[in-house]
Amino acid sequence: MENGDFFIGIAQQALWITALATLPILIPALICGIVVGMIQAATSINEATLAFVPKLLVVGATLVFFGGSILMLVGDFMREMFERIPDLLN
């Protein structure tokens, strides 16, 4: 395997792992932000903390539920990267 192909494969896998690790956090925060924004627009309340606090709570709850699996996903990726180091030396 050529080194260029090797690094491109690693970069593609890193981008995929990044997407898988961030989407469980970003999607609920996005949905919460849209709902809070709609409520603020309907009630004409323009308080910044009303948008921040619910998103913070949603992100915290999401990390409680999915944090372990996200950590295992990133840990498995790092272990695989360290196992691939000898392939670079051949």
pLDDT tens, the chain, 90 aa long: 577 788 898 899 999 999 999 999 999 999 999 999 999 889 988 888 888 999 999 999 999 999 999 999 999 999 999 998 887 776
How far apart, in whole angstroms, are the C-alpha atoms of residue 64 and residue 5? 37
Q: What is the domain extent for residue 75?
A: 3-89
Query: Would you mind telling me the total number of residues written for the chain in this entry?
Result: 90
Among the listed residues 81, 73, 31, the one whose alpha carbon sits nearest the alpha carbon of residue 54: 31
**How many Cα atoms are found within 13 Å in the side-chain-facing hemisphere of 45?**
11
Instruction: Give Cα separations from 66 to 32, 60, 83 (angstroms).
Output: 17, 10, 26
**pLDDT score for 80:** 92
**pLDDT score for 25:** 94
**pLDDT score for 21:** 94
**pLDDT score for 9:** 87
How many folded domains does the chain comprise? 1
Structure tokens, 30: 């996005």
